[in-house]
Amino acid sequence: MLSTMQDVPLTVTRLLKHGSTVHGTSQITTWTGEGEPHRRSFAEIGERSAQLAHALRDDLGVTGDQRVATLMWNNAEHVEAYFAVPAMGAVLHTLNLRLPADQLVWIVKHAADRVIIVNGSLLPLLAPLLPQLSPVEHVVVSGPGDRSVLDGAGVQVHEYEELLAGKPTAYDWPELDERQAAAMCYTSGTTGDPKGVVYSHRSIYLHSMQVSTTQSMGLTDEDIALIVVPQFHVNAWGLPHAVFMTGVNMLMPDRFLQPAPLAEMIESERPTYAAAVPTIWQGLLAELTANPRNIESLAQVTIGGAACPSSLMEAYDKFGVRVCHAWGMTETSPLGTVARPPAGVSEADELGYRLTQGRFPAGVEARLTGPTGEHLPWDGESAGELEVRGPWIAGAYYGGAAGEDFRPEDKFSEDGWLKTGDVGTISPDGYLRLTDRAKDVIKSGGEWISSVELENALMAHPGVAEAAVVAVPDEKWGERPLATVVLKEGATADFEVLRDFLGEKIAKWQLPERWSIIPTVPKTSVGKFDKKVIRRQYADGELDVKKF
Amino acid sequence: MLSTMQDVPLTVTRLLKHGSTVHGTSQITTWTGEGEPHRRSFAEIGERSAQLAHALRDDLGVTGDQRVATLMWNNAEHVEAYFAVPAMGAVLHTLNLRLPADQLVWIVKHAADRVIIVNGSLLPLLAPLLPQLSPVEHVVVSGPGDRSVLDGAGVQVHEYEELLAGKPTAYDWPELDERQAAAMCYTSGTTGDPKGVVYSHRSIYLHSMQVSTTQSMGLTDEDIALIVVPQFHVNAWGLPHAVFMTGVNMLMPDRFLQPAPLAEMIESERPTYAAAVPTIWQGLLAELTANPRNIESLAQVTIGGAACPSSLMEAYDKFGVRVCHAWGMTETSPLGTVARPPAGVSEADELGYRLTQGRFPAGVEARLTGPTGEHLPWDGESAGELEVRGPWIAGAYYGGAAGEDFRPEDKFSEDGWLKTGDVGTISPDGYLRLTDRAKDVIKSGGEWISSVELENALMAHPGVAEAAVVAVPDEKWGERPLATVVLKEGATADFEVLRDFLGEKIAKWQLPERWSIIPTVPKTSVGKFDKKVIRRQYADGELDVKKF
C-alpha cells in the first residue's frame, strides 16, 4: 500500500531557500581582526549564493557534479560556497588547510577539483602546490592577501567579489535527487591514503534536523553561535547548514583562532553558544585567567574531536559556561552522540554522564562487537568495537578502497555498518563511553584488554612519569600487553612493585608480564602516543624487556 | 556522483527500537478515573508492541499491508498499536469516534479494515455498526466495558490482554521501505465523502524530528506531555511518535476529557506541557475559575485545530501558562506552522505574532495563490489561497477521487502542491495569518473580499448581534458580498448607517450593496456559520434583500 504523501526531496537547496527567506534577518558576523566586524544577513547570503552559482556556471563553466573546492577559514563567503555549490548540483570539497602539502595534493587530484575558492591569506599555502594540482583550472580569491604569488601559476585567477558583481540575485535552482552528492571531506588516518567521505543532500538535511533538536545543540533564532570548529572539519560539525533551518545567528572567527582574539570576540559580540575542540578551550581558559574578560553571554559550548578532561569542564562551570561533550567522526557527519545527562539524574551522577561521549539519537543505531565477532549487551561493562548505522553515516569511501593497505572489511561490516575503530561500552540508557582505539586493544585469548586503562592505572603511581602499553605477540594467548614506563627523575624501577600496584585496580589476567623502561614515549605530530613506533622497536629487539 | 552514505530507511520501527531502549525508563501514564493512574515504561511498551505484533500475525493472521483499525481513547494500549502495526508492515487506521455512524461505516469499508482494536467503553458505539462492517473479521477489546453487547455480532472477539499474554517480548521486525504506508486517517469535510490520508514511515519519522526541534514543541526527557488531542485526530498531532525520539513522558487522559478530571490530573501528575483544541482550554479555564487548582507545572501548551482567541491566551498568561498557536490539517501530518515569536520582538508586538497561525519550518514550503492563479508576495498584505509542499504533506487521497463532487484539481495543484482551502497572508519573515476559507471568499472582479473581515467589522457595531457575509452572483463583478445581519434586541435596522460604519474600516469597493435582516445565522452541528444555507436561501428568494 503506497502512502499518499508528496515525494519531496530533502536538499541543501531547501535549507538555503528557507533560511534566506523565513530567517532572512538572521546574521553571519565575520571577525576582521580590526575595527567593526563584517555582518551579512541570511537574505544577503541567499542573494550572493545565487550570484556565486551564476559565476561558477556562466564564467567558470562548472557543470554537472564537478567538484568545487574551498581552502578557506570560517567566514560568510565560505557559507555562500556551502550553499551555492550543492544547490546548483555540483559538489563542495572542503580542503583541510592543516594537512601536509603532499596529502593536500593527493586529495585535490583524487577528488578532481576543477575550481578552488581560496582566502587571500591562504595563498602562500596554495601557490607553491598549484603546479602539481593538475585538475584545477580556476582559482577564485576572496579577502585580503597578496595575489602576486599566483603569477605564472598556470591557472585562471578570479576575484571573488568581481565574479559576483552584477550577477542576478536569484537562480533557478535545479530539482535534485536527495541521494545525490552534495559535499565531500577527506579523513586522514595515521596509516594509508586519505579516504573521501561524500555527503548526500539527504544526509546533510537530516543531520541539520538532528542538530536542531533539543537532544543535540537545541539552538533557536535567539542564539548567536560562535563556530570555532573549522568549516573544513566535517562541515564545522554541520552547524552552518543547521542554522539555516532555525535562524541561529553565526559568529565566524575567520583566521583569528588564537586565544586573545577569541576572548575579545566573545566579550564584544556576546555569543550564547560555541563549538570547538578541547585544545581551543584549554587555550582560552589560560587567556581568561591571565586577562579576564566578560564571557557571561556564553551559556553552552559543545566540545568534540577529542575527550574533554573533567578539570576543563569544571573550570568552565565556574564561568557559568555549560560544557557539553559530543562524539563523532568525518564518517558520521559528525553527530554520533551528545552528552546531555538524562532527566532526573542526581547532582553527584551528573558529571559522570557529562564525561561520557554521549547518548545516541534515534538516527544513529549502535552496537558493540566483541573479539570473536559477537554483539555485546548494553550493560555499561562489556567493551567492544563500536559499530554504527544511520542515514548520515558513511557506508563506503569515494572511489572505493584507498591505498594498498586499506581493506574495506576493516571499516565496514558485512551488513553495512561503519566500524568506528573505537572500543568502549554502552550503558542501558544509551550512553557511550570510549575506552580505547581498536588497534591499541590487546586481544588476549579471546578477551580484550584496554591499553588505555592499564596506562592510566600505571601513571597514577608516584614514580611513573608516562606509560604506554602495547600489544605484543604471544604464543599461548595470541597477544599480551607490554608495559613501557618512563620514570620520574630520581625514581627507580621495581617492576614487581608496579605490577602489585596495578593489581589493586586491574584483573589479574590482564596484568602485563613484559616490562621495559624507556627514556620517553614516542609521540605523533599532534602529541598522541605513537604506539606503532613502540611495537616496531619491540619487534626489532631495540627495547630492554624484562619478563616475569 | 553518488554519495557514500548508508541507505538507511526512516521508519516507525526505528522510533520504537530507539524509544524502548535509549529512553526505556520514560513513562506513559494513563488516567483511570479513580485511584492510582496506570504507568507503563517505554521499555514495556516495546515488549508489549512485540507481543501485539505476534498476536496480530500468528493469532489473527494479519499479513502484508492489511489494515488494523483502532477505536480508542488516548492510552498506553493505543500507543502500542501505534508502533506494533506499522512496524510489522501493516497499516494502522485510527477511527474518529466522534463521526456520525454512517461515516464510520463508510470509512471502515473504504479502508477495508480487517481488525478493529476497541476500548471496552466504546463497545456501545461499535456493536450496533458491526453488522454493516463487512471487511472486519476480528474485534480486539481492551479495558473496562460490557462485552455482552458483542454477542452474535458475527465477528471473532478477542481480549487484548489475553492475546498478548505469553507471547515473545521481541519481534523480528522486517526491513521496510520508508515510502511504505504506515498509518491512515480520514478527513471529513462538510461536503462529499470522507477522504483518506495515508502517512508513510518516512513522513512520520520526519514529522517526529520536526516536533522535536526547538522551533516546534521542543520537548526533552525532562518533560511530561499531557496529550488531550485525540490519537484518532491526525495521530494526536504526531506527539506519540515524536516522544519516542526524545524520551518525553506522556500523560494520557483516556476517556476523562471533561474539565474537572483534566484539572485534577494536571494538579496531581504535574505535566509540563499539554496539547488540545481551544474548546478544551475554554472549558478548563471555566473549571479553574470555579474550582481553583494548582496548575503551576504547566509551562507551555499548544493550541491547534481552530484559531485561539487572544482573551484565552491572556487568561492563561496569568496562570504562567504559555499558549502557543499551531496550524495544520489531517493532510499536513499536521504540523504546518507554530507561532513562536521571532527573536528580538518587542513586548508590544509579541502577542500579535502569537495570534498568527505561526511560522513555517524548513520542511513546509508555502505559497499564496491569488484569484487569477498568480503567486502573491510574502508582504503580510496580499491575501491568497495557501498552498503547501513538503515530505509530510499529502499529494493525493487514498483510492484517488472520493465522492461524486470531488475534483482532485480543487485539492492539488498541477505541480503537486496541496491546496489548503484556507485564505490568508504571509509576512516577510514567514508567519501565516489566515483570514478566511477559500470557499467563503467573495471573488469580485479579479479581487478577493474576505467575508470574515466584513463580518468582524459588522459585529463590532453596538446594534448587531451576529452577521454573516456570503458571496452572491453579480452580473458585472462575478460575485459581490451579501450582508445578512441579526440585530440585537431593541435595535432597529438602518443599512446606510451600517454601511457607513463599515466604510470606516473597509475599502469602499469591498462594501456590500445587498443587505438582509435575518432572525438567526444558520449553524452547522459544531456551531460554525453554515453559509451554504444562506447562499441557498438567497438563490431560492427566501431572504428579504435590500439593494442600494
The answer for residues whose C-beta is within 8 angstroms of residue A495's C-beta and 6 or more apart is: A515, A546, A548
Q: Do B3 and A365 touch (CB under 8 A)?
A: no
A23 to chain B, closest Cα gap in Å: 6
Q: Domains plus CATH for chain B? A: 12-257 (3.40.50.12780), 365-399+408-437 (2.30.38.10), 441-547 (3.30.300.30)
Number of H helices, E strands in chain A: 17, 27
Whether A42 contacts A244, CB under 8 Å: yes
In angstroms, rounded to a whole number, what is the distance separating the alpha carbons of residues A59 and B181?
Answer: 46
- Please indicate whether residue A331 is annotated as part of the active site: yes
Residue B189 predicted with pLDDT over 70: no
Any B CB within 8 A of A393 CB: yes
Please give the residue of chain B at the shortest CA–CA distance from A359: B22
- Is the pLDDT confidence value at A534 over 80? yes
Which whole number is the average pLDDT over A179-187? Answer: 96
| Chain segment B13-42, per-residue pLDDT in tens | 999 999 999 999 999 999 999 889 999 999
Distance CA B5, CA A439 (A): 24
Q: Are B145 and B126 in contact (CB under 8 A)?
A: no
- Bridge partners of A487, per DSSP, are A464
Closest chain B residue to the Cα of A417, Cα to Cα = B6
Contact call for B214 and A220, based on CB within 8 A: yes
Nearest to A1 among B198, B340, B394 (CB): B198
B412–chain A Cβ distance below 8 A for any pair: no
How far apart are the C-alpha atoms of B44 and A98, rounded to whole Å?
50
> ∠A406-A409-A413 over CA atoms, to 5°?
145
Residue B368: which H helix or E strand, with range? strand B365-369
In whole angstroms, how far apart are CA B517 and each of B329, B451, B533? 35, 17, 15
- Cα A457–A459–A462 angle (5° rounding)? 110
Of the candidates B3, B200, B210, the beta carbon closest to that of A198 is on B3
Which of B314, B312, B247, B249 minimizes the C-alpha distance to B276? Answer: B312
CB contact under 8 A, A215 and B212: yes
The pLDDT of residue B190: 58
pLDDT, tens digit, 9 for 90 and up, residues A319-338: 999 999 999 999 999 999 99
Q: Which alpha helices (DSSP H) does A467-545 contain, by range?
A: 495-503, 531-539
Give the residue from chain A lying closest to B343, CA to CA.
Answer: A222
ipTM of predicted complex: 0.93
Nearest to B214 by CA among B324, B308, B317, B297: B324
Mean pLDDT in residue range A436-465: 89
- Look-up of cell digits 559538489: A91
What is the residue-averaged pLDDT of chain A?
94
**Nearest residue to B225 via CA among B212, B207, B214, B240:** B240
The cell numbers describing B53, all together, are 505484533
Q: Among A89, A247, A389, A205, which Cα is nearest to B391's? A: A205
DSSP letters for A348-413: HHHHHHHTSSEE--TT-EEEEE-TTSPEEPSSSS--EEEEEE-TTSBSS-TTSS-STT--HHHHB-
CA-based end-to-end distance of chain B: 69
pLDDT of residue A401: 59
- B308's CB contacts (< 8 A; 6+ apart) are B278, B281, B323, B325, B355
Instruction: Confirm or reject contact between B214 and chain A (CB < 8 A).
Output: yes
Task: Give whole-number Cα distances, B101 to B125, B127, B405, in Å.
Answer: 8, 11, 21
Beta partners for residue A431, in sequence order: A359
Angle at A391 between CA A386 and CA A396, to 5 degrees: 65
Average pLDDT over residues A189-199: 82
Average pLDDT over chain B, rounded to whole?
94
CB of A19 closer than 8 Å to CB of A46: yes
What is the pLDDT confidence band of residue B131, given thresholds at 50, 70 and 90? very high
- pLDDT band, very low/low/confident/very high, at B310 (cuts 50, 70, 90): confident
Share of chain B above pLDDT 90, in %: 83
- Which one of B6, B197, B391 has the shortest CB-CB distance to A394? B6
What is residue B218's predicted lDDT score, i.e. its pLDDT? 93
pLDDT band of residue B307 (cuts 50, 70, 90) is confident
pLDDT, tens digit, for every residue of B349-373?
999 999 999 999 999 999 999 988 9
CA–CA dist A16, A245 (Å, integer):
8
d(CA A239, CA B10): 22
Question: Of the listed A439, A443, A466, A532, which one is catalytic?
Answer: A443
* H/E run at residue A516: strand A514-517
Strand partners, A139: A116, A157
Mark A35-46 as b/e (b = at least 16 C-beta within 10 Å): eebbebbbbbbb
H-run or E-run covering B423: strand B418-426
Q: Which of B287, B331, B387, B455 is catalytic?
A: B331
Active-site annotation holds for B70? no
Q: Which residue of A2, A3, A83 to mutate against B (max B Cβ within 10 Å)?
A: A3
Would the pLDDT of B439 be above 90? no
The C-alpha cell 511518535 sits at B241
- For the stretch A253-296, pLDDT in tens is 999 999 999 999 999 999 999 999 988 999 999 999 999 999 99
Q: Does B481 touch chain A (CB under 8 A)?
A: no
For the record, the C-alpha cell of A287 comes out as 587567556
* Contact residues, B window 125-144, toward A, CB-based 8 Å cutoff: none
What's the gap in Å between the CA of B381 and the closest CA on chain A?
16
Structural contact between residues A319 and A292, judged by C-beta atoms closer than 8 angstroms:
no
Q: Looking at residue B217, what is its pLDDT? A: 94
What does the pLDDT look like over A343-353, one tens digit per residue?
999 989 999 99
DSSP category for residue A120: G
As a 3-state breakdown, chain A gives helix, strand, coil percent values, each rounded to 5, of 30, 25, 40
Q: Report the alpha-carbon distance of residue B117 to residue B75 in Å, rounded.
A: 13
Cα–Cα distance list, B149 to A186, B121, B136, B146, B154 (Å): 68, 11, 17, 7, 12
Distance of CA A7 to the CA centre of its chain: 33
- Residues A258, B43: Cα–Cα separation, whole Å: 48
For B313, what's the count of Cα atoms within 13 Å in the CB-facing half-sphere?
20
Task: Indicate if the pLDDT at residue A138 is higher than 80.
Answer: yes
Q: In this structure, are residues B139 and B150 in contact, taking their beta carbons and an 8 Å threshold?
A: yes
Active site residue A419: no
Identify the closest residue of chain B to A218 by CA–CA distance. B214
CB contact under 8 A, B220 and A215: yes
Asked if pLDDT for residue B345 goes beyond 80, the answer is yes
Residues in B touching A221 (Cβ below 8 Å): 342-343
pLDDT score for B127: 97
> Which of B508, B495, B510 is closest to B441 using CA atoms?
B510
Q: Annotated catalytic, A411?
A: no
pLDDT in tens, B144-166: 999 999 998 899 999 999 999 99
Between positions 292 and 331 of B, the ones with CB within 8 A of A are none
Q: What ranges in A393-525 are assigned the alpha helix state H?
A: 408-411, 451-459, 495-503
Average pLDDT over residues B107-116: 97
Determine the residue of chain B that is closest to A18 in CA distance.
Answer: B362
Confidence band (pLDDT; 50, 70, 90) for A446?
confident
What is the percent of chain A where pLDDT is above 70?
A: 98
pLDDT digits (tens, 9 = 90+) for A374-386: 999 999 999 999 9
DSSP state for residue A280 in the 8-state scheme: H
- For range A450-461, the mean pLDDT: 90
Select from A124, A150, A233 the least CA-distant residue to A188: A233
CA distance A503 to A457: 9
Residue A410 has pLDDT above 80, yes or no: yes
Which chain A residues contact residue B63 at CB under 8 A? none
Interface of B with A in 414-443 (CB under 8 A): 416, 418, 428-430
Contact assessment for residue A189 and residue A195, using Cβ atoms and an 8 Å cutoff: yes
Helix (H, G, I), strand (E, B) or coil at B14: helix
